[in-house]
Amino acid sequence: MFERIQKWDNRILMMLAKRHTPFLNKFLILITTTGNNGYVWFVLATPFILTNRWRLTGFTLLSAMGIATLTGEITIKHLVKRVRPCSKAFDEYLLIENPPHYSFPSGHTTSSFAVSAAALIVCPTIFVPVLIYSMLMSFSRLYLLVHYPTDVLAGMVIGFICGMVAVPVASYIPLFSIQF
């Protein structure tokens, strides 16, 4: 079964590798770069945190990203230890530096979907743009050949769950009541 999944993963990545264009290369490198270390989500959360009325929303978004990072990057990746596709067969198509960590699940996707899920509950007005950005982020990881499709799919599911968990967790953190 794992062999069939791996063949499916490889087939999709090869299809994407053959469809690289200069515009998409630049655009998706930019999208994926904003996800490095969660930069885009820190930028999104900052105005919320700086506003007394919306502080809990900002902390919830950051909590979602933090829980996703602990779950995906620190725990699951080191248990599964899946080698990245760019470390194997797709080296000649690589457009960015080979990331140093394991592949499963996609950390960019996990944190993005965690923030999306939290946004759906605590600030539905930003949900659609956040979800679109999360989907672009996820696709960029495939397009840039640093994750398999199953890494991204798992990241979506894990991220969504982490985002849902973050909402009640963040409500118990007393930091949102601090006045700036």
Question: Looking at residue 119, what is its pLDDT?
Answer: 96
Candidate from 12-16, 93-97, 132-136 with smallest mean pLDDT: 93-97
Q: 41-45, 53-57, 104-108, 148-152: which has the minimum mean pLDDT? A: 53-57
Confidence grade of residue 161 (pLDDT, cut at 50, 70, 90)? very high
The DSSP code sequence of 28-95 is: HHHHHHHHGGGHHHHHHHHHHHTSGGGHHHHHHHHHHHHHHIIIIIIIIHHHH-PPPGGGTT-GGG--
Task: Give the per-residue pLDDT at 147.
Answer: 92
Give yes or no for residue 89 having a pLDDT over 70: no
**What is the four-CA torsion angle of 61, 153, 99, 116, rounded to 10 degrees?**
-10
Query: Mind listing the pLDDT tens digit for each residue in 21-39?
Result: 899 999 999 999 999 999 9
Buried b (16+ CB within 10 A) or exposed e, 106-139: bbbbbbbbbbbbbbbbbbeebbeebbebbbbbbb
Instruction: State the average pLDDT for the chain.
Output: 88
What CA–CA distance (Å, rounded) separates 93 from 102?
A: 19
Dihedral angle sign, alpha carbons of residues 49, 54, 59, 62: negative
Confidence of residue 93 (pLDDT cuts 50, 70, 90): low
Q: Give the model confidence (pLDDT) of 110-157 as tens digits.
A: 999 999 999 999 999 999 999 999 999 999 999 998 999 999 999 999
3-state DSSP call for residue 127? Answer: helix
171 pLDDT band, cuts 50/70/90, is confident
What is the pTM assigned to this prediction? 0.88
Q: Are 66 and 157 in contact (CB under 8 A)?
A: no
pLDDT at 157: 97
* pLDDT tens, position by position, 51-67: 888 888 999 999 999 99
Q: Kindly report the CATH number that applies to the domain delimited by 22-177.
A: 1.10.606.20
Handedness of CA 11, 104, 146, 98 (dihedral sign): negative
pLDDT at 179: 53
